[in-house]
Amino acid sequence: MHTNHTPPAPPLFTWEFASDPYPAYAWLREHAPVHRTALPSGVEAWLVTRYADARQALADQRLSKNPVHHSEGAHGKGKVGIPGERSANLMTHLLNIDPPDHTRLRRLVSKAFTPRRVAEFAPRVQELTDRLIDGFVARGEADLIHEFAFPLPIYAICDLLGVPAEDQDDFRDWAGMMIRHGGGPRGGVARSVKRMRTYLAELIHRKREDLGEDLISGLIRASDHGEHLTENEAAAMAFILLFAGFETTVNLIGNGTYALLRHPEQRERLQRALAEGDESLLATGVEELLRYDGPVELATWRFAVQDLVIGGQRIAEGDPVLVVLAAADRDPERFADPDTLDLARRDNQHLGYGHGIHYCLGAPLARLEGQTALATLLRRLPGMRLAAEPEDLRWRGGLIMRGLRTLPVAFEAGE
């Protein structure tokens, strides 16, 4: 309950909020931990901001991922979820479904997307990382979002899925369209999603005739061994791997590099450890960067399939619930000095990859890309510095993701 002494709720989803949402999240955690608000799209949703409530909500089977449970029904359709996924017939992916379909599809993709496959991919990620840095190292300056953080995950996922090299720049364009319009007009995104869908359907068709060692071939193989995977589900699976693994990783690299540039003592500590061949700080450090300023600000949509109570607040059947990972991961009830970046933090069970049955499938790949990207930047551009005032940097105003539009840096040319 609000008392007369409670200050008014801070404005959410403004430009100021986008550049630093953490004070507003601290207010919500304290005064309105389960808070109903109108989103920029007009959809009303509950924001869950405390760690304990967030963790519980992420694993609560009474909260469905399937938008058919949204009370706004047809009216709300198209306003929640990924733009264009409905019209492109891509709804049957992991982030929109519940058990038992979710269990079946997740088991199937887990057979193809194994930690071993990711580990074997490490040299390729290193090669891609070095190639991108080679592209700007002689210039002494770069925009790390456009020239580095953006292309790296796209090429990595395309490689893993088995998209031929000559088609990967098409993906780069479609993905660019999605990220440019994040939080803005949805038409351009929907068109790119449609093109991607057509391409993926053809690719799956071709792979069926000629199986390789890639992930799409692995999916087809797994489905031929007893488990059933429809053509639609295969396309939706390939699509969600691209979609879920792309902008997230861009922002892990972008937000992570930015946080290091803003905390020189932490960055020097990591640089020293790497120079001494000690990679343990890199591993805890990337987890801490995810907790401190992670790419996924709000977990993807959930809808109450029955009335329930979260954190003492009654939520009605059909209501949308958004778990605010960025707020939960700064909860002082869970993390000591939550607003301090400490790359060596040990007790760090952050929610940056979610929790429960929808826990990020790509976490091993994200860790590999994040660790390789940051370590290589620090090794190859040791004198790298921010080439803009922090106040002048613009953050994307998207709902689910948090990330920078640009990250200009300067360094010794040819370093």
Return residues touching ligand HEM (CB under 6 A): 58, 94-95, 106, 157, 240-241, 244-245, 248-249, 252, 290, 294-296, 299-300, 352-354, 358, 360-362, 365-366
CA 260 to chain centre: 19
- The DSSP string of 116-131 is HHHHHTHHHHHHHHHH
- Any idea which residue has 């088995």 for tokens? 162
Q: Name every residue whose Cβ is closer than 8 Å to that of residue 202 and which is 6 or more positions away in sequence.
A: none
Q: Angle, to 10 degrees, between the axis of helix 187-209 and the axis of helix 215-224?
A: 60
Are 345 and 284 in contact, with CB atoms under 8 Å apart?
Answer: yes
CA–CA separation, 299 and 316 (whole Å)? 19
Question: Nearest to ligand HEM by Cβ — which residue?
Answer: 362
In the structure encoding, which two tokens stand for residue 48, read together? 């869950």
* Residue 7 Cβ vs ligand HEM, minimum distance, rounded to whole Å: 30
* Residue 146 Cβ vs ligand HEM, minimum distance, rounded to whole Å: 18
CA–CA separation, 174 and 196 (whole Å)? 7
CA–CA separation, 356 and 402 (whole Å)? 22
Cβ proximity to ligand HEM, 254 vs 311, nearer residue: 254
Cβ proximity to ligand HEM, 179 vs 411, nearer residue: 179
CA 259 to chain centre: 17
Are 294 and 326 in contact, with CB atoms under 8 Å apart?
Answer: yes
* Residue 343 Cβ vs ligand HEM, minimum distance, rounded to whole Å: 16
Are 24 and 35 in contact, with CB atoms under 8 Å apart?
Answer: no
Encoded amino acid at 207, one letter: K
147: which DSSP letter? I
Closest-CA residue to 191 (of 264, 266, 87): 87
CA–CA separation, 145 and 403 (whole Å)? 9
* Residue 389 Cβ vs ligand HEM, minimum distance, rounded to whole Å: 27
Cβ proximity to ligand HEM, 9 vs 168, nearer residue: 168
Cα 326 to Cα 1, 9, 140, 198, 248: the distances in Å are 24, 18, 33, 35, 13
In the structure encoding, which two tokens stand for residue 101, read together? 């379909």
Cα 96 to Cα 27, 89, 178, 191, 351: the distances in Å are 31, 12, 19, 20, 19
Cβ proximity to ligand HEM, 88 vs 299, nearer residue: 299
Cβ proximity to ligand HEM, 28 vs 240, nearer residue: 240
Are 342 and 285 in contact, with CB atoms under 8 Å apart?
Answer: no
Cβ proximity to ligand HEM, 152 vs 190, nearer residue: 152
* Residue 373 Cβ vs ligand HEM, minimum distance, rounded to whole Å: 11
